[in-house]
Amino acid sequence: MNQPLSILRSAFLAGLCISIGCVVNLRVGGVAGAVLFSFGLLAVLHYQLKLYTGTAGFVRAKGDWGMLAQVLIGNVLACSLCSMVFAYAQPDILPAAETIVLSRLSKGPLACFLLAIGCGFIMTTAVQFGRGGKFLPLLFGVPVFILCGFTHSIADAFYFMATPQFIDGNLLTIYIGEVLGNFVGCNLYRWVISPENQV
């Protein structure tokens, strides 16, 4: 199969998994919603799908940059489509999504960038454990980043597209900041720990 197409398909399905996590988080909320969101990430790891925040911390070769861009595009496309479907089929999720988006707007691009670093670090750490067959850190890591208010660029693609009335240049700047912040957080362990000490 054509590799770019294969990557896009995997990334699209990963975005679908995250969208399911977003929906349950919006409907349930609180600690329970944050814990149940973990299903999306567990599904991504189980099926070995391409998720931006699960891939960005493992980019090493020059050719990986194009792959990472494809992953981000596939994730965002899936979240955009799913957000429209769920906004139509279950409009009761919209008030909670609006609350999240308004919170991001009130914080601004720099704060969202900084919060995204925390999320990226947690996600890469959880994926490292998951690749070793240890899924409990993922079950804890996802609620931790949600309850800390850290920003996840793929989940926010769902929340932002579910509330198109808020989409403008400012929200786009915030989103770019989240993507960059997630990347920084995902690679923090590699930049801080010397290569010979990395697992």
Kindly list the structural domains of the chain, giving each domain's residue range(s) and its CATH number in brackets, ordered by start: 3-197 (1.20.1080.10)
- Amino acid, res. 177: G
Least Cα distance to 12 among 81, 75, 84 occurs for 75
Name the CA dihedral angle for 179, 185, 72, 33, rounded to a multiple of 10 degrees. -90
Alpha-carbon span 120 to 56, nearest angstrom: 9
Q: Please give the pLDDT value at position 194.
A: 56
- Amino acid, res. 40: G
Instruction: Output the tens digit of pLDDT for each of the chain's 199 residues.
Output: 468 899 999 999 999 999 999 999 999 999 999 999 999 999 999 999 999 999 999 887 566 899 999 999 999 999 999 999 999 999 999 999 999 999 999 999 999 999 999 999 999 999 889 888 888 888 899 999 999 999 999 999 999 999 999 999 999 999 999 999 999 999 998 889 856 545 4
Q: Please give the pLDDT value at position 61.
A: 57
Angle between the N-to-C axes of helices 30-46 and 3-28, in degrees from 0 to 180, rounded to the nearest 10: 160
DSSP class of 48: T
DSSP class of 134: -
Q: Please give the pLDDT value at position 198.
A: 55
Kindly report the CA angle at 129 between 127 and 135, in degrees rounded to 5?
90
Alpha-carbon span 22 to 51, nearest angstrom: 15
Residue 92: count of CB within 10 angstroms of its CB: 8
Evaluate whether 191 touches 92 at the Cβ level (below 8 Å).
no
Alpha-carbon span 152 to 150, nearest angstrom: 7
Evaluate whether 87 touches 166 at the Cβ level (below 8 Å).
no
